[in-house]
Amino acid sequence: MIDVHSHMQFNAFKNDFDQVIKKAFENGVEIIINSSTSLESSNNAVELAEKYENLFAIIGIHPHDADKVEVGWDKELIRIAKSSKKVVGIGEIGLDYYSHSSNGVVDPLIQKKVFIRQIEIANELNLPLQIHNRQAGNDILEIINDKLSIIKMDPPGMFHCMSGNIEFLKKVLDLGFFIGFDGNITYEGLAKGEDTLLPDLVKNTPIEKLVVETDAPLLAPIPYRGSRNEPAHVIIVGENIAKIKNLDKEKVEKITTENAKKIFNLS
Ligand SMILES: [Zn+2]
Ligand SMILES: [Zn+2]
């Protein structure tokens, strides 16, 4: 199984990092891809990927950090990408219009500018996109459709931690993107501001287009909800996908692993 979106470089794992990844690999996780939110976390993700064979890095600026970058950030991101063969994508990038208690909503114009620049960088470097969307689906689609002429990666990448409605999901699939699901597919009821249950999105995503992720340390699946999430729990995400789609666990594992390898060019 491949966890395509984790944050092992975050402080939450600083004291027991080795045990956590050991447990993941012992439980059947084959590869962990750590996604980034800032230049600093990008550097840290690359550092880990250079140290451990089965760890890879996706580097980028999260929309919530879009107002914290300084002049020249894009050149630095390109430098980091070129510094290691273990960099397999640009992310997590996108738009986030959910008002967080810590910093509200970052100015959408700044978010869009940083998102667009990173789409350009990804295509200069031939790297797939890992997109973060929270209640900003229409604007994300508008930007991607606008930039279609420069997006030459095939597949173009994936939407991580899918949310939104079926119509949005279909548009994302039509653009060729893969869809990532996390432990929150095990939560009861609708998330704040959403109108479609996550299991319904799972049902409407062909298994050939689906990948699994944890977003660790966040979004621990039931029965671990509320505690620190970790890559080993991606197995639970896979089991729940199997249940929802009425497929064998083994089939979900095999196909989602192939999908992840295809998106991120892993052999
Ligand atoms: Zn995200
Ligand atoms: Zn994340």
pLDDT tens-digit profile of 38-67? Answer: 999 999 999 999 999 999 999 999 999 999
Answer for the pair 3, 259: CB distance below 8 angstroms, yes or no: no
Mean pLDDT of 123-152: 96
Neighbours of 18 (CB within 10 A): 10
What's the pLDDT score for residue 24?
Answer: 97
pLDDT at 97 over 90: yes
What's the pLDDT score for residue 267?
Answer: 78
Residue 70, H or E segment: none
Residues 6+ apart with CB under 8 A from 132: 62, 63, 91, 92, 93, 94, 95, 96, 160, 161
What's the pLDDT score for residue 18?
Answer: 94
Q: What's at 213, amino acid-wise? A: E
Relative to the alpha carbon of 34, which ligand is closest?
2
pLDDT at 103 over 80: no
Confidence category of residue 256, pLDDT binned at 50, 70, 90: very high
Residues 6+ apart with CB under 8 A from 88: 33, 56, 57, 58, 127, 128, 264, 265, 266
What's the pLDDT score for residue 101?
Answer: 79
Query: Residue 92, preceding bond cis, omega within 30 degrees?
Result: yes
Residue 202, H or E segment: helix 198-203
What's the pLDDT score for residue 113?
Answer: 98
pLDDT at 193 over 90: no
What's the pLDDT score for residue 13?
Answer: 97
In the three-class reduction of DSSP (H, G, I as helix; E, B as strand; rest coil), residue 88 is classed as: strand
Say how many Å lie between the CA of residue 59 and the centre of ligand 1: 13
Say how many Å lie between the CA of residue 5 and the centre of ligand 2: 6
Say how many Å lie between the CA of residue 214 and the centre of ligand 2: 8
What's the pLDDT score for residue 102?
Answer: 79
What's the pLDDT score for residue 83?
Answer: 98
Say how many Å lie between the CA of residue 213 and the centre of ligand 2: 9
Confidence category of residue 180, pLDDT binned at 50, 70, 90: very high
What's the pLDDT score for residue 85?
Answer: 97
pLDDT at 99 over 90: no
Say how many Å lie between the CA of residue 263 and the centre of ligand 2: 17
Say how many Å lie between the CA of residue 222 and the centre of ligand 2: 18
Average pLDDT, the chain: 96
What's the pLDDT score for residue 152?
Answer: 87
Side-chain half-sphere exposure of 96, counting CA atoms within 13 A: 24
Say how many Å lie between the CA of residue 64 and the centre of ligand 2: 11
pLDDT at 2 over 80: yes
- Sheet of 178-181: strand order equals 2-6, 31-35, 55-59, 87-96, 129-134, 157-160, 178-181, 210-212
Residues 6+ apart with CB under 8 A from 182: 5, 160, 161, 212, 213, 214, 215, 219, 221, 237
